[in-house]
Amino acid sequence: MKTTHKPTLSFIIPLKDEAPTLKELYSRIAEQANEHASDWEIIFIDDGSDDNSWNIIKELAKEAPDHVRALKFRTNRSKAPALATGYREANGEFVFTLDADLQDDPKEIPRFLEKINEGDGWDIVSGYKATRHDPWHKVLPSRIFNWMLSKVNGVNLHDHNCGFKCYRQDVVKHLPMYGEMHRMVPSLAAIEGYRTTEIVVEHHARQHGVSKYGFSRFLRGFFDMWSVFFVRTYRERPLHFAGAMAIFCVLVAVGLWALAVIPQLPEPVRTAILSTAPAVFAVAPVSLVIGFMAELVTNRRYKEGIEVPVEERIEINDSVIQENVIQMNAASEQPVAAKSLHSFPSIIVADDDTVTRALTKRILEAEGWRTTPAETAEQALELITPETDVVLLDIYLPGMSGLDVLPKIKQLAPKTQVVILSASEKAADGAQAIKAGGFDFLSKPVKKVNLLNTVNQALDASRALRPKSQVVAS
C-alpha cells in the first residue's frame, strides 16, 4: 500500500544530558523532513537532564516554533515513560523514535518510509545496527539477548532494542509502555497483531557524553522478556496459567504425601515431608497467581495511559502567539494588561480523526486563532457558546452527524459560522450543508490555503454580525 502523498511525521527524541548534540540532531532531521514530509514535528522529552539540554531545546523552539515541541520531566524517569509521553503527544501519520546522541543517522529516514509502505505495508520498521561502534562487552550480551528474545516471543529481529524505529501512528497509540518495556516494543506490538520488519542502518560512534546503559540492563531485560511472554500467552486466559501451576503443585504435594507413607523412611525425613507438602499445595499456586495477576493489571493500567508529571511544556507556535500578544499591546495607545488567548478568534474543530484535528489545530493556531478540539457532534454542542466565531464540522461523525447538529448550533449561537468538512466530494453533501445553514463546504483532504481562506471569510462573516465592541481584530 504505497502512499501517493508526502506524509506527516513526528520525531520523538528522549534524552538526558545531551546538550552538545541537540542542534546538530535537529538540523539533520529537518533536512530530511523538509524533503520527505508535508508537515512534521520534533518532540523532545527531557528526562531530568542536569546539563544545558533544556535551554538548548528552548532555543530550538524559538527558532523553529512550527516544528519543535518539548516536555521536561521533574526527575529522571527512564526511557520507557519518556517514550510513552511522546507516543501520547505525537500527531504524525508516521512516528519515528531516535536516540539523541547522534549514533542514529537521520539520513536513514527516507529508507524507513520506503520500507514501511513496502508491499501491503508494515506497522513497524526497526533499525538493525549490523556494524556497531560500541565496546564488545556491550555488543556481545546484546546479541545474546536479541537471539533469546526472538526465540521466546516469536518476533525474529536482529536488534529488538535499536532506538531508531518508524511506526504507524495507530501502533504507538495502542502500546503499553512502562518500566523498561521500550526494549520489548516489537514483542508488545505483536500481541496486538502489528507486524514488524527491520532494515540495516548505519551506526555512528558516540562523539559526546557517555552511555546511560550498563550490564544490569540485560538482567532487567531478561525478566522483561519473560514478562512479555506471559502477557502474550496468558493475557486473555490467565486461568489456564494459574490452573496449570495449581495442578502441578497439587501433584507434587500428593507425591510428597505418598512418599511419606513409605515405612522405611526415617521419622525426621517423614516429618519434614509432611510439613512441606501442605506448603507446596497451598502457598505456591497462590503466590504465582497473585504475581501474574499483578503483571496483567500493570500491563492494562499502563495501556490505558499513566501520565508522567511534566514540569514545563513547549507547544508549537506558543512563542509566536505570545509575540503577537505583546505586539498588539505595544501598538495600543494606552498601556493594557496582556490579553489572554480568550480574546483571540474562537474556533471549534469537530472531527473524529485524530490526525486531522491535530493538523487543523496547528494550522489555525499559527494564525493566532484559539482552537478547541471535539471528537463528536455532541462534544461540539457542549463546547459552543454565543461567542464562538467558527465551527469546522465533519459531516460524518460517530453518533449525531454534522448535518444533524448544524441546526442546533445555529440555534445556540446564531452568529457562529459553520464550515462543513467531508471526505466525500458529492455535490449533494455540499448543497445539503449550505441548505442546513452552513457557511461553506470543503472536501477533505483540505489544502492549507483553502482552509485558511475559508476560515478567514467565515470569521469576517461572524464578526460582521456582532457589535464592534465584541470584535477583537485577528
- Please report, for the chain, the start and end positions of each structural domain, with discontinuous segments joined by +: 8-232, 235-304, 324-470
pLDDT at 44 exceeding the cut of 90: yes
Q: What is the pLDDT of residue 112?
A: 94
- State the helix-helix crossing angle for 318-331 and 53-63, rounded to 10 degrees: 60
Q: What is the pLDDT of residue 311?
A: 56
The mean-pLDDT minimum among 32-46, 64-78, 299-313 falls in 299-313
| Helix ranges (DSSP H) in 341-465 | 354-365, 377-383, 402-412, 427-435, 448-464
128 three-state secondary structure: strand
Place of cell 485558511: 452
Task: Read off the pLDDT of residues 411-435 as tens digits, 9 standing for 90 and up.
Answer: 888 889 999 887 765 656 667 777 7
The larger pLDDT score, comparing residue 149 to residue 137, is at 149
Place of cell 522483561: 224
**Residues 402, 437: Cα–Cα separation, whole Å:** 11
The mean-pLDDT minimum among 191-195, 212-216, 321-325 falls in 321-325
Do domains 8-232 and 324-470 share one topology? The answer is no
Contacts 24+ apart (CB under 8 A), 336-339: none
The larger pLDDT score, comparing residue 107 to residue 176, is at 107
Mean pLDDT of the chain: 77
Report, at the CATH architecture level, how domain 8-232 is classified. Alpha-Beta Complex (3.90)
* AA identity, residue 456: N
Fold that domain 324-470 belongs to in CATH: Rossmann fold (3.40.50)
For Cα atoms 300, 303, 304, give the angle at the middle one, nearest 5 degrees: 95
Q: What is the pLDDT of residue 266?
A: 81
Contact 311, 49 (CB under 8 A): no
Strands (DSSP E) contained in 21-160 are 39-46, 68-73, 94-97, 124-128
Q: What is the pLDDT of residue 209?
A: 53
pLDDT at 210 exceeding the cut of 80: no
pLDDT at 139 exceeding the cut of 90: no
**Residues 140, 390: Cα–Cα separation, whole Å:** 60
**Residues 104, 96: Cα–Cα separation, whole Å:** 11
pLDDT at 45 exceeding the cut of 90: yes
